[in-house]
Amino acid sequence: MTTLHLINKTPSESSALRDSLSAISDGDALLLIENGVYAAMPAYAERFTRLPRTIQCYLLNNDALARGLNDLNPDFGAIDYDGFVELSCRYNKVVSWF
Amino acid sequence: MKFSIVITGAPYSSQASASALQFSRSVLRLGHEIHRVFFYADGVHSGTALAAPPQDETNIPAEWTTLAQEHQLDLVVCIAAAVRRGILDEGEARRYEKSGHNLAPDFTLSGLGQLVEAGIVSDRVVTFGA
């Protein structure tokens, strides 16, 4: 059973990212949306270094562009809403942290 | 695949409803089905017919009504969350003796059972939180 974890808050405004990282399992994926995309700024990269390699990380590029963010953490794959839907289908459950 | 969508953030104060709209459009464009959209907590404000945003901004309630009409979506607003926030249909306005009602076209007021049922019959439930 795999889970897609959705994070829509910055690491500083809520514990959503920390909570999700403590609950994430092998084979799961992380998707940053809305203000969550700020977590892909290089300053936060250290938070993701201990994640197992089996966990894929993504960000919703629409929300990154809307915030003028570029040069983001290269470990995060940039996707659009169609990609978001495809990830929702690929993983067994979608859990939102906020 | 059968999706249901849950929205708990109010339009214009959180991105939840706007994100859910775009996600729902992609779901439908990719050939999937949306069983229900459930508006809960502050999310009920997406169901007002009285929103009048500036003309160069998205009218989120109207966008939901348009999408619902194009795809026969079931837009359900939690009745307990709605009436305490002043989102009323004709029947609730009469029950509480209010001077008007404001539930937008193609939205219905109903109970949490509709969320439970959506969770049972849908392959995926995606929540857009405040």
All residue ranges of chain A with pLDDT < 70 are none
Please indicate whether residue B78 is annotated as part of the active site: yes
Residue B33: which domain range?
2-128
Residue with tokens 């214009």: B12
ipTM for the complex? Answer: 0.96
Is 1.10.10.60 the CATH classification of the domain at A3-97?
A: no
**From CA B124, how far away is CA B3, in angstroms rounded?**
5
Among B116, B101, B17, CA closest to B67: B17
All residue ranges of chain B with pLDDT < 50 are none
pLDDT in tens, B97-128: 999 999 999 999 999 999 999 999 999 999 99
* Domains contained in chain B, number: 1
Say which CATH number the domain at B43 has: 3.40.1260.10
The answer to pTM > 0.95 is yes
Q: How far is B110 from chain A (nearest CA, A)?
A: 23
Edge-to-edge strand list for the sheet holding B2-7: B107-110, B75-78, B33-39, B2-7, B124-128
- Is residue B125 within 8 angstroms of chain A, CB to CB? yes
**In chain A, which residue's Cα lies nearest the Cα of B15?**
A34
